[in-house]
Amino acid sequence: MLTEKTIIELANLLEKGETSAEEIIKEYIKRINTIDKKINAYITFDDEKAIIDAKESDKRRKKGAHLSRYDGIPIAIKDNICTKGIQTSCASGILKDFVPPYDATSIVKIKEMGFIILGKMNMDEFAMGSSTETSYFGPTKNPYNLERVPGGSSGGSAAAVSAMIAPAALGSDTGGSIRLPSSFCGVVGIKPTYGRVSRYGLVAFASSLDQIGTIARTVDDAALLLKVISGSDKKDSTSIERDNDFTDELDGQIEDMIIGIPKEYFDSVSSDIHECIFTRINQLERMGARIKEISLKYTEYAIPIYYLIASAEASSNLSRYDGIRYGTRSNNASEIIDIYKKSRSEGFGKEVKRRIILGTYALSSGYYDAYYLKALKGRSLIIDDFKNVFSKVDVILSPSSTTTAFRIGEKINDPLEMYIMDILTISANLAAIPSLSVPVGLDSNKLPVGLQIMGNHLQEKKILNMAKAVESICDPIHPEV
Ligand code: GLN
């Protein structure tokens, strides 16, 4: 089945003329129409447009004018990345009618290579959440167990790749939103170094933390797609100009690499996950890596620091949705102040409102020093913590999450319980370092376990190489949907 193939396999088949873009798209359409009823990974899926795009790609290839080896391969896109002419809702009521007049830079780049947009993926509203339950369009289900969450906020992207209703996807990660769902759904997800990928056209949540990254079924696929979207961009002044050569010679050679194991990252981890991760660490040691216990001593402060900074930035970024400048306007108001109030109170969901209130409070005069400024100081300590550790180790290994996928509804009414889910992922965002999650097996409930690999700034190649080594010792896992 073509839907089981990786990007690299599809590219080879296309190159040899053994399949066509149209054939690939049609297989996906058939599978999406049966499987997505159960999973709800897609917010927007336009099969007619996808077929038109595929036919155009086939025409190009016939003439020898294909845009790259990947011309005609479909990719799913998280619904907070702007796609020209295609609804980009952020899974929010306030943006449900928003159709961007432009493409995000990462979309321009994938289109330049001939990739086809397969659809727009479900997510937590404005990427705020860890379970994809806060979506205006209803929750996405985990393909391994339909009663469980897929993780969040890029839950639609990860679930689709896992269930083979997309070969790969773009997601965004502000505090773990690529790695947590990748871990829960048994796929590979990478958040690059802050600045590696342009944020232009990514709907802002917390600008100093947001990064677009990739989700795929293999390390090679995730890496190659990341390379496609990487690069500096004059439309994003925080993007950086660097070699994007991190896919060359990815051979899984890890001899003499020093792996740091942070003891704080195993404190509240379930015993199944603990065992699974240590089995892999021991195997990596036998392959020639050196293991070193390390300490990231400010880990316990990462949650309050992140939730203050992220919410403060969100409260500012989301002020533009007022029914006048941006966002659906309330029909129940005529006075200007009322339009603002009602558009926002009707358009935003509960979690988004909670963040706006928290962030506005933290930024208000009288509280700024006590909360926001203090959080910024805490962030510096976390940055120093990593700087210090990376002078001694090449990569840091830990679980991606303290538990495997939890039940739908289990944490949605307890925000703190939900926030704690991010404890192992958010420090990488605060420190702006690259980090990925790679599947390493199943727990006793037959749910995927993810291993997190963090590296120093711009060391994507090191963490991808380590991920290749991990992949080589793990049996591939797939859900039965
Ligand atoms: N779960 C975190 C939050 O709710 C991270 C979200 C993200 O990375 N977009 O803020």
Inform me whether the pLDDT recorded for 351 exceeds 90. yes
Share the mean pLDDT of the chain.
97
| pLDDT score recorded for residue 462 | 97
Atom of ligand 1 nearest to the CA of 152: 1
Q: How far is CA 463 from CA 207, 215, 363, 449, in A?
A: 24, 15, 36, 18
- pLDDT-derived band of residue 215, with 50, 70 and 90 as boundaries? very high
Residue in the block written with tokens 């205006």: 136
For the annotated catalytic residues, the residue numbers are 78, 153, 177
* Predicted confidence band of residue 241 (pLDDT cuts 50, 70, 90): confident
- State how far the Cα of 426 lies from the Cα of 121, in Å rounded to an integer: 22
Q: Which amino acid appears at position 13 of this protein?
A: L
pLDDT at position 284 is 98
Cis peptide leading into 380, omega within 30 of 0?
Answer: no
Q: Please write the tens of the pLDDT for every residue from 289-331.
A: 999 999 999 999 999 999 999 999 999 999 999 999 999 999 9
E strands, 15-146, in order = 42-44, 74-78, 116-121
Q: How many whole angstroms from 171 Cα to the centroid of ligand 1? A: 12
The answer on pLDDT for 260 being more than 90 is yes
Rounded distance between C-alpha atoms, residue 219 and residue 304, angstroms: 32
* 3-class secondary structure, 355: helix
Does ligand 1 lie within 6 Å of residue 423's CB atom? no
For 170-204, what is each residue's pLDDT tens digit?
999 999 999 999 999 999 999 999 999 999 999 99
CB 131 within 8 A of CB 403: no
Q: If you measure from the C-alpha of residue 126 to the centroid of ligand 1, how many angstroms do you get, rounded to a whole number?
A: 9
User: What burial class does residue 154 get, using C-beta atoms within 10 Å of its C-beta: 0-12 exposed, 13-18 middle, 19+ buried?
Assistant: buried
Whether pLDDT at 245 is above 90 = no
- Quick one: DSSP state of residue 128? -
Cβ of 181 below 6 Å from ligand 1: no
Point out which residues pair with 44 in neighbouring strands.
120
- Ligand 1 centre distance from Cα of residue 417 (Å): 13
Is 130's C-beta closer than 6 angstroms to any atom of ligand 1? yes
Q: Which residue has the tokens 């899984």?
A: 252
Task: Give residue 325 CA to ligand 1 midpoint distance, Å.
Answer: 25
Q: Which amino acid is at 288?
A: G
When pLDDT is cut at 50, 70 and 90, the band that residue 100 belongs to is very high
Alpha-carbon distance values, 307 to 39, 205, 301, 407, 445 (Å): 29, 12, 10, 23, 31
Evaluated on CA atoms 325, 89, 439, 118, the torsion sign reads negative
Residues 6+ apart with CB under 8 A from 369: none
Is 157's C-beta closer than 6 angstroms to any atom of ligand 1? no
**And the tokens for 341?**
């109030």
What is the reported pLDDT for 242? 84
In whole angstroms, give the CA distance from residue 430 to residue 3: 36
What average pLDDT does the segment 384-404 reach?
Answer: 98
- CB burial readout 356-365, b (16+ within 10 A) else e: bebbbbbbee
As given in the structure block, the two tokens for residue 193 are 């170094």
Q: What pLDDT, on a 0 to 100 scale, did the predictor assign at position 244?
A: 82
Decide whether any atom of ligand 1 lies within 6 Å of the 177 Cβ. Answer: yes
Closest atom of ligand 1 to 130 CA is 1
Q: What tens digit of pLDDT does each residue of 39-73 get?
A: 999 999 999 999 999 999 999 999 999 999 999 99
For residue 127, which atom of ligand 1 is closest to its CA? Answer: 9
- pLDDT per position as a tens digit, 113-140: 999 999 999 999 999 999 999 999 999 9
Query: What is the reported pLDDT for 249?
Result: 82
Percent of the chain with pLDDT over 90: 98
3-state helix vs strand vs coil in the chain, percent to 5: 40, 15, 45
Predicted TM-score (pTM) of the model is 0.98
Distance, in Å, from the CA atom of 453 to the CA atom of 276, rounded to the nearest integer, reads 15
Q: What is the largest CA-CA distance in the chain?
A: 70
92: number of Cβ within 10 Å: 28
- The continuous run of DSSP H or E covering 172 comes out as strand 168-173
Q: Check pLDDT > 90 for residue 423.
A: yes
Q: How far is the CA of 335 from the centre of ligand 1 (A)?
A: 35
Q: Is the pLDDT of residue 76 over 90?
A: yes
For 14-46, the pLDDT digits (tens) are 999 999 999 999 999 999 999 999 999 999 999
